[in-house]
Amino acid sequence: MKEIRSTLVWPLVALVVLLVFNAVASPGFFHVEWKDGRLFGTVVDIFNQGARVPMLLALGMTLVIATGGVDLSVGSIMAVSGAVAAMQVNAGASMGQAVAAGLGLATLLGLVNGVLIARVGLQPIIATLVMMVAGRGLAMLLTGSQMVPFANRSLTWLANGSVGGLPVPVVLVLLLAGVTGWLLRRTAAGLFIEATGDNEKASRLAGIQTGGVRLAVYGFSGFCAGLSGVLEAANISAADPARIGDTRELDAIFAVVAGGTALTGGRFSLAGSVVGALLLQTLTLTLYNQNVAPAVAPVPKAVVILAVCLLHSPRLRARFGKRTQSVAA
């Protein structure tokens, strides 16, 4: 527990530095007002836009990475679930049914990833690469490669409504993160995931169904991606099968790693990933706010990523006199 808390410190530090920069560079950054019964301001946007994609994807990705895997297919799964939900409401289904259909198919696709990895024994990067390509095709096939606009009020509300002044996605995603975190620690799932990621062979010999664990985390990652896809579609009242979620897997992986979960698997931190996602979203909005030309925007982005990396560096931390313990391999 102590280690986890200490890994959380560094992304938080990076986030605070970025926020302080904004506070100085753009005065209106922290301005939040009450408008039409909801909170309104850049900080709210960070949470709202951050919740819809990076946070959600990072949630699933955290568990996948904790088992030592990776999921490249999240963007494509977003496209599929968004498309399914949109087509369902257009076909007359209720919001609930449409969302359930989208999430169901997304979870199923995640489970397919899981089967390819845990049962067939493909390397995660390859299995999910296949899903990334084919899943995008599936989304386009379902929609005839066209945008699917819809006018279902309750579905649109999912992304644009507010609960107690907070955007619905923020409430939804923080709730999901909280419940997931709680469940993982209440049950033995968290332990099994970490054990599987740290030493799969030993875990199996200790009686853990490592195959089942992997299957479950890819299914969960699919579910999270599905929810993200539904929210993205709800946000613009249309499903965009060809482009939605494109390259967002990198954002998710970045959020997870920045949050202190090692790509090699093992110990994970959901809270860290959420902070990592917020960091990423803050960075994006900062670049918009400073009107950094899109062509050169990658450069400051690279600088911030490197800065986060350096904060994570044991070497540098040792320099600053922080005590660390190293785990012998």
Ligand X SMILES: Nc1ncnc2c1ncn2[C@@H]1O[C@H](COP(=O)(O)OP(=O)(O)OP(=O)(O)O)[C@@H](O)[C@H]1O
Q: Which does 149 bind (CB under 5 to 8 A by kind): ligand X, another protein, none?
A: another protein
Task: Return the number of the residue (96 or 316) whose C-beta is nearest another protein.
Answer: 316
Within 267-326, the residues that bind ligand X by CB under 6 A are: 325-326
Give residue number: closest CB to ligand X: 328
The residue among 230, 216, 228, 217 whose CA lies nearest residue 97 is 230
* Residue 328 sits in the site that holds ligand X (CB under 6 A): yes
Q: How far is the CB of 271 from another protein (least distance, A)?
A: 18
Segment near another protein (CB under 8 A); pick from 95-103, 174-182, 219-227, 263-271: 263-271
| Contact predicate 307/18, CB 8 Å | no
Q: How far is the CB of 323 from ligand X (least distance, A)?
A: 12
Beta bridge pairs of residue 148: 239
Long-range contacts of 32-37, Cβ-Cβ distance < 8 Å, separation of 24 or more: 34/165, 37/162, 37/165
Query: HSE (CB half, 13 Å, CA atoms) of 305?
Result: 15
Task: Return the number of the residue (97 or 196) whose C-beta is nearest another protein.
Answer: 196
Q: Which does 298 bind (CB under 5 to 8 A by kind): ligand X, another protein, none?
A: another protein
* Residue 1 sits in the site that holds ligand X (CB under 6 A): no
Task: Return the number of the residue (294 or 323) whose C-beta is nearest ligand X.
Answer: 323
* Residue 315 sits in the site that holds another protein (CB under 8 A): yes
Q: Which of 96, 149, 165, 178 binds another protein (CB under 8 A)?
A: 149
Binding mask 66-105 for another protein (x = CB under 8 A): --x---x---------------------------------
Q: Which residues of the chain form contacts with ligand X (CB under 6 A)?
A: 325-326, 328
